[in-house]
């Protein structure tokens, strides 16, 4: 744990020194790195607070019984449909999908359902698919979905089955006291 903190601290220090040196010397690449970093940080500061509020609401409002019924052991193949549908409405991509998937699993979702949700959150988000279809055409979007969604389901089912056979358990979320 201390090594990790030391590594992160050194990384931040090196980044700050590099950016400071770039400003002092007017180095174009360093200034470009700073502008990219600042732009990305601005986007994240706008996206993450509402996303984390929604994650918190999901965690509190959705009961374990609902998750178990739709994503758990007895849910059957429908869990993939619900995971994909939930992923289609997710904003924020993987930044949001990973904590939601963790919350789903903690409430009783099978690994395969959680993994399908994470994989689908990058593939089937409604706004992204609409923009893609308007730029690349509906045929392209349908072919992409027809190929990628079954592959996500298959890989999630295989990986979920493997993890369950191995007795794997997720580590607690960093904020958990357990």
CA distance 92 to 77: 26
Burial (0-12, 13-18, 19+ Cβ within 10 Å), 90: buried
For 64-119, write each residue's pLDDT tens digit: 898 988 898 888 899 999 999 999 988 777 778 888 898 899 899 999 999 999 99
pLDDT tens digit sequence for 159-178:
999 999 999 988 776 655 44
Q: What is the mean pLDDT of the chain?
A: 88
Q: What is the pTM of this model?
A: 0.73
Alpha-carbon dihedral sign for residues 51, 55, 56, 60: positive
Alpha helices in 89-137 (DSSP H): 94-106, 111-121, 126-136
Report d(CA 137, CA 130) in Å as an integer: 9
Q: What percent of the chain has pLDDT over 70?
A: 96
């Amino acid at each position: 744990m201390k090594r990790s903190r030391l590594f992160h601290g050194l990384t931040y220090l090196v980044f700050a020194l590099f950016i400071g040196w770039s400003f002092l010397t007017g180095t174009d690449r360093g200034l470009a790195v700073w502008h990219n970093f600042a732009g990305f940080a601005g986007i994240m500061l706008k996206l993450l607070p509402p996303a984390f509020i929604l994650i918190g609401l999901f965690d509190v409002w959705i009961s374990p019984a609902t998750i178990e019924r739709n994503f758990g052991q007895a849910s059957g193949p429908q869990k993939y449909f619900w995971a994909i549908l939930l992923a289609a409405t997710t904003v924020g991509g993987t930044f949001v999908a990973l904590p939601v998937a963790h919350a789903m699993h903690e409430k009783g979702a099978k690994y395969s359902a959680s993994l399908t949700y994470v994989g689908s959150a990058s593939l089937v988000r409604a706004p992204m698919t609409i923009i893609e279809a308007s730029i690349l055409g509906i045929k392209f979007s349908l072919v992409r979905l027809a190929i990628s969604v079954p592959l996500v389901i298959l890989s999630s089912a295989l990986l979920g089955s493997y993890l369950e056979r191995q007795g794997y358990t997720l580590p607690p979320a960093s904020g958990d006291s357990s």
